[in-house]
Amino acid sequence: MKIVFQMFLVLSLVVASAGLLYYLKWRMGRANLYKLAEKLPGLPGLPLLGNALQFAISPNQIFDEVYSMSFKDEFQDVGKIWLGPRLVVLLVNPKDIELILSSNVHLRKSSEYRYFEPWFGNGLLISYGDTWKTHRKMIAPTFHLNVLKRFMDEFNKNSKLVIDRMATEDGKHFDCHDYMSEIMVETLLETVMGVKQAAQGRNCLTYALSVMDVCDIMHARQTKLWLRPDWTYKWTNMAKEFDKHLGIIMNLTNKVFMKKKEDYIQSRVSTLPAKEEKEERKKEEKKVIVQGALTNENFSYGQSAGLTDDLDVDDNEIGEKKRLPFLEAMIERAHNGDGLTDQEIKNQVNTLMFEGHDTTAAGSSFFLCVMGARPDIQEKVLNEIDSIFGDSDREVTFQDTLELKYLERCIMETLRLFPPVPIISRELDQDLPLSSRPDLTIPAGCTVVIGTYKVHRRPDLYPDPETFNPDHFLPENAASRHYYSFIPFSAGPRSCVGRKYAMLKLKILLANILRQYQVKPGKPIKDWRLQADIILKRTDGFDIALERRKHVKA
Residues making up the annotated binding site are 496
End-to-end alpha carbon distance in the chain: 92
CB of 356 to ligand HEM, least distance (A): 3
Burial (CB count within 10 angstroms: exposed 0-12, middle 13-18, buried 19+), residue 484:
buried
CB of 456 to ligand HEM, least distance (A): 12
Q: Per CB under 6 A, does 451 bind ligand HEM?
A: no
Q: Per CB under 6 A, does 147 bind ligand HEM?
A: no
Written in H, E and C, the secondary structure of 404-421 is CHHHHHHHHHHHHHCCCC
CB of 461 to ligand HEM, least distance (A): 18
**Pairwise CA distance, residues 107 & 96, whole Å:** 15
Q: Per CB under 6 A, does 94 bind ligand HEM?
A: no
Residue nearest to ligand HEM (CB): 498
CB of 342 to ligand HEM, least distance (A): 19
Question: Which of 86, 95, 114, 136 contacts ligand HEM by CB under 6 A?
Answer: 136
8 Å CB contact between 509 and 183: yes
* # chain residues binding ligand HEM, by CB under 6 A: 23
CB of 166 to ligand HEM, least distance (A): 20
Q: Per CB under 6 A, does 325 bind ligand HEM?
A: no
Q: Give the closest residue to 352 by CA, choosing from 249, 451, 281, 424.
A: 249
Q: Which is nearer to ligand HEM, 426 or 437 (CB)?
A: 426
Question: Which of 494, 515, 537, 538 contacts ligand HEM by CB under 6 A?
Answer: 494
Q: Which is nearer to ligand HEM, 42 or 488 (CB)?
A: 488
Q: Which is nearer to ligand HEM, 210 or 490 (CB)?
A: 490
- Which residues pair with residue 448 across a beta bridge? 89, 426
Helix or strand holding residue 161 (H, E)? helix 152-166
CA 150, 156, 162 angle in degrees (round to 5)?
Answer: 135
In the chain, the largest separation of any two C-alpha atoms, in whole Å, equals: 97
8 Å CB contact between 143 and 318: no
Q: Give the closest residue to 494 by CA, choosing from 547, 426, 542.
A: 426
Question: Which of 327, 421, 461, 510 contacts ligand HEM by CB under 6 A?
Answer: 421
Question: Which of 424, 428, 432, 532 contacts ligand HEM by CB under 6 A?
Answer: 424
CB of 132 to ligand HEM, least distance (A): 6
Return binding residues for heme. 496
Q: Which is nearer to ligand HEM, 109 or 437 (CB)?
A: 109
Q: Per CB under 6 A, does 300 bind ligand HEM?
A: no
8 Å CB contact between 192 and 154: no
Q: Per CB under 6 A, does 125 bind ligand HEM?
A: yes
Q: Which stretch binds ligand HEM (CB under 6 A): 7-15, 24-32, 474-482, 495-503?
A: 495-503
Question: Can you tell me whether residue 90 is helix, strand or coil?
Answer: strand
Q: Which is nearer to ligand HEM, 502 or 514 (CB)?
A: 502
42-49 LR contacts (CB < 8 Å, sep 24+): 42/74, 42/75, 42/79, 42/80, 42/81, 42/82, 43/69, 43/72, 43/74, 43/79, 43/81, 45/81, 45/82, 48/84, 48/85, 49/82, 49/84, 49/225
Q: Going residue by residue from 328 to 357, which x/- string records binding to ligand HEM, judged by CB under 6 A?
A: -----------------------xx--xx-
Q: Which is nearer to ligand HEM, 462 or 501 (CB)?
A: 501
Question: Can you tell me whether residue 173 is helix, strand or coil?
Answer: strand
Which amino acid is located at 181 in the chain?
S
Q: Give the closest residue to 189 by CA, choosing from 158, 156, 210.
A: 158
Q: Which stretch binds ligand HEM (CB under 6 A): 37-45, 254-262, 467-475, 482-490?
A: 482-490
Residues 152-181 that bind ligand HEM (CB under 6 A): none
Q: Per CB under 6 A, does 396 bind ligand HEM?
A: no
Q: What are the percentages of helix, strand and coil residues in the chain, rounded to 5?
A: 60, 10, 30
Q: Which is nearer to ligand HEM, 70 or 365 (CB)?
A: 365
CB of 507 to ligand HEM, least distance (A): 11
8 Å CB contact between 204 and 178: no
DSSP β-ladder status, 543-548 and 447-450: unpaired
CB of 180 to ligand HEM, least distance (A): 11
CA 342, 347, 348 angle in degrees (round to 5)?
Answer: 100
Question: Which of 88, 89, 166, 192 contacts ligand HEM by CB under 6 A?
Answer: 192
Q: Per CB under 6 A, does 359 bind ligand HEM?
A: yes
Question: Which of 200, 360, 378, 531 contacts ligand HEM by CB under 6 A?
Answer: 360
Q: Which stretch binds ligand HEM (CB under 6 A): 10-18, 246-254, 453-461, 491-499?
A: 491-499
Q: Per CB under 6 A, does 455 bind ligand HEM?
A: no
Applying CB under 6 A, the residues found at the interface with ligand HEM are 124-125, 136, 192, 351-352, 355-356, 359-360, 363, 420-421, 424, 488-490, 494, 496-498, 501-502
